[in-house]
Amino acid sequence: MYNKMWHQTQEDLNSLLDKESQKMSEPQGNKIVVFQMLATFYINYVQIFRNMENVYDQIVHPQKRMLIRKVLDGVMGRILELKNEMVELEMTEFHYFDDILQDLKLSPQQLDVPIPRYFLKERLEVIKGREKILAQILTECGLNLPNVKYAVKIIALEEAVKLIQIAERARQGRLRALFMKQIFLQECRAKEMKLLGQRLLDTRLAALQIQKVWRGFHQSKKTVKEREEEMVFLGMKPSPFFNEVSDAIAQSKQVRNLRDEVQLKHEQNYQEALVNIKEDLKMLEGPDIKENLQDQIRQWFIECRNLTGTFPDYPNEEDGGSALIFSNKTPEQEEDEEWKMSPSLFLQLMEEGNSLYKDMWLNKDESWNFPQDYDPEMIKEEKRKELEMEIRIQVDELMRQELKNLKLAVNREMEIPPKQKKGKKVRRRGKRGKKEKDLTADRTIESLYQELVEEGLLIQALKVNLSDYIGEYSYLGTTLRQVAIEPMPSLLDVRQLITLYGILPLGSAEVHERAPLVKSLLLAGPSGVGKKMLVHAICTETGANLFNLSASNIAGKYPGKTGLQMMMHLVFKVARQLQPSVVWIQDTEKTFYKKVPQAEKRIEPKRLKRYLPKLLKLLKPDDRILIVGTTHRPFDAELQPFCRVYQKIILVPRPDYASRYVLWKEIILRNGGELTNSLNISCLSKVTDGFTQGQIVQVIKDVLTERRLRQQAHKPLTAIEFITMMTNMNPVYREEEESFKNWYAKTPLGKKRVLSLTVGGNKEKEKDKGKKGKRGKKKK
């Protein structure tokens, strides 16, 4: 199944690469046409990425997985490149593909970029070991406090007695009310008997009356059940077994676990085979390879002697030694190779993987390899080349001496030592970059790690997946932009950007080195929209370390200029050694305050202001370190230095109606609630316009106590229960949302967006005026 899926995906990739090479060579002047082209390629690459990630996770053949991984990283990087091109073209981080999705007959859910599972799977042992060490250090320092489910409040004895008395009186009152109800019902029955005059009813009439009542009750129950089944069938209501794990899902999990075990076993066998087969080849074929190489080189000596009259000079080891003699390249081929230049750093990687697939796997007969273990012949072919290179180095040393002896014996010539090429000295020219001084050269990484944990600068990330950031797509984005209205991004748009800018580059070293480099990220939005959750989700999905350099957290730690320098050195040294790493600056506007409030002057919030730009310059493509800032008051910061530090700025909005609807449903179900006809989710979503995700989650947890969950069977949940709890909360008003939009319009990308819309609008007006003028002339 997954082999077929792989072959189909490779065919799709091959056709897409052909289309892209054709389209990119054609000059395009219209921005709309260019964006449509880029967006189409982006969506197609996302579909290939989704399939390829699934294939890589499930295929157990080790050599196939190596090739798939190469292609997977190439596709991942190409997606990031296309995203970067679209951002530069439209001058905005958020794009809407409603019309293109409709043409391609795809749903918005298929636009979701998956997070490769190998990010965690292949580093699972390292991550577990690091978490264990971190937990141990926190426990020793007394910082790892146990999670207390119920808060214990200490009260005075008199107050405790009063509470017990209130509870006991309430219990007695309920019992008395039940007793009085029974007495009242008995009196009512006695009155009815008196009215009937103690007359006995006919048994047939009594039976008929009972039948009527029973049949009516039975039919009403049946009608309700049929209606519920119809609503479930139409997808308008979740199945009653929605929260239960089906047998098929449980079986699929077992199969997935089994595949993981087989993958690990086959990988171990493959690594052992690489060593064993090479040793066998060295013993069996090594002498023959050595003899053949010597014969070929001697033949070259004789041919050159016959043609030129003298023995040739032996090529230097730096130039490749004897391998240079037998290279079959013509000058024309060398020119083509030097001239060839791909427009993308990842297209060449994908083309190489695609050509390897065609040469090795497309028409390969694997009927003999049912368990999908390694292919020994492929290993032999690979190791023969390695063995030949190793033996060639030894042969070159012998043949250099032999050539020297031949020259002395035949020509009586002394061999002139080869001169070093002057071109190699070019490397010394130019300015030398300032090498960062290691202030802790005499200390181990383990001791530095422990110090940072004890100081509270390296913290434990919460176990939160990015999929827990619930939201819905914006289905009106394209329509609103067509009428010159800039829509607020949806929560899933934000989640998509976190995946593209944060998770994918941190998870893959290959992608981080070649893709457009994002060193810093700013999440700006009102309190409670999930900025902190997104930071922890990045760490959870990539297994990254989390460093907290918030102004409140570093206050009083490592005082003075030298202390600050040492702190930054410790953080970034450990972050580099144990990458991937995330450096989090909460309330980052404090670092760039326009004016520091009097109450905060003692914590020196602007300590990092000068150091952050310098540190960003020192970060290289092979440093998988991401600086993430979060702020709920970006307008308090100086705009220019703020935007100079943060390369990408993501505006995190309050949830729209669609996102609130999904959020209410999901969180209620996750907390044990039941969705019935009594609970109007649509009403809740409309009434809670302006409230943030954090407030909605808090209200649901407050309402769905253990006692309330037990009462659901006879007392279903209603919307009024949740609405009552929200009356004490303050929503995000339109004015606050507009202030965020106005601030974002002042950022570099926001300015470019406004300018592009203004220029585009003016051009359209000029065109309209020109058309009207032509029509007026025609009428005259």
Contact between 691 and 264 (Cβ < 8 Å): no
From residue 464, alpha-carbon distances to 115, 389, 460, 538 in Å are: 14, 49, 12, 9
Amino acid identity for residue 639 in this structure: L
- Asked if residue 441 has pLDDT above 90, the reply is no
Q: Looking at residue 190, what is its pLDDT?
A: 84
Q: Which long-range contacts (CB under 8 A, 24 or more apart) does 184-192 make?
A: none
Whole-number Å distance between alpha carbons of 357 and 361:
5
Q: What angle separates helix 347-360 from helix 2-25, to the nearest 10 degrees?
A: 130
Q: Quick one: which H or E segment has residue 628?
A: strand 625-631
Percent of the chain with pLDDT over 70: 88
Q: Looking at residue 769, what is its pLDDT?
A: 52
Mean pLDDT, range 24-31, rounded to an integer: 70
Question: b or e along 749-774 (b: 16 or more beta carbons within 10 Å of the residue's beta carbon)?
Answer: bbeebeeeeeeeeeeeeeeeeeeeee
Compute the Cα dihedral for 316, 320, 322, 327 and give only its sign: negative
Q: Looking at residue 33, what is its pLDDT?
A: 83
Percent of the chain with pLDDT over 90: 21
pLDDT tens by residue, 78-104: 999 899 888 888 888 888 888 888 888
Mean of all residue pLDDT scores within the chain: 82
Q: Looking at residue 164, what is its pLDDT?
A: 93
Tokens of 448: 């530095």
Q: Looking at residue 428, what is its pLDDT?
A: 43
Q: Quick one: which H or E segment has residue 275?
A: helix 247-284
Q: Which residues pair with 459 in a beta bridge?
A: 546
pLDDT tens by residue, 290-314: 888 888 888 887 888 777 777 777 7
165 pLDDT band, cuts 50/70/90, is very high
Coil, helix or strand for 593?
strand
Whole-number Å distance between alpha carbons of 561 and 4:
61
Residue 488: half-sphere exposure toward Cβ, Cα within 13 Å: 18
Whole-number Å distance between alpha carbons of 134 and 127:
10
Range name among 238-247, 524-533, 650-659 with the lowest pLDDT average = 238-247
337 pLDDT band, cuts 50/70/90, is very low
Q: Where do we find the tokens 């470019």?
A: 752
Is pTM beyond 0.95 here? no
Contact between 489 and 657 (Cβ < 8 Å): no
Tokens of 589: 């506007």
Q: Compute CA 140 distance to the chain's CA centroid, rounded to the nearest angstrom.
A: 33
Tokens of 143: 């910082």
Q: Which long-range contacts (CB under 8 A, 24 or more apart) does 142-145 make?
A: 143/456, 144/460
Range name among 313-327, 337-351, 470-484 with the lowest pLDDT average = 337-351
Question: b or e along 276-287 (b: 16 or more beta carbons within 10 Å of the residue's beta carbon)?
Answer: ebbeebeeebbe
Whole-number Å distance between alpha carbons of 460 and 449:
13
Range name among 182-196, 297-311, 381-395, 724-738 with the lowest pLDDT average = 297-311
Specify the higher pLDDT residue, 245 or 496: 496
From residue 431, alpha-carbon distances to 427, 437, 613, 622, 636 in Å are: 10, 18, 21, 21, 39
- Asked if residue 523 has pLDDT above 90, the reply is yes
Q: Looking at residue 780, what is its pLDDT?
A: 46
Whole-number Å distance between alpha carbons of 16 and 33:
18
CA-closest candidate to residue 642, choices 748, 489, 519: 748
Range name among 64-68, 86-90, 198-202, 655-659 with the lowest pLDDT average = 198-202
Q: Vertex 147, ends 141 and 149: CA angle to 5°?
A: 155
Residues 6+ apart with CB under 8 A from 472: 490, 491, 492, 656, 658, 659, 661, 662
pLDDT tens by residue, 661-700: 999 999 998 888 888 888 889 999 999 998 999 999 999 9
* Cβ atoms < 10 Å from Cβ of 87: 16
- Asked if residue 774 has pLDDT above 70, the reply is no
Q: Looking at residue 759, what is its pLDDT?
A: 63
Tokens of 460: 């434990």
Pinpoint the alpha helices (H) of 411-530.
445-454, 477-482, 491-498, 504-507, 509-514
Amino acid identity for residue 398 in this structure: L
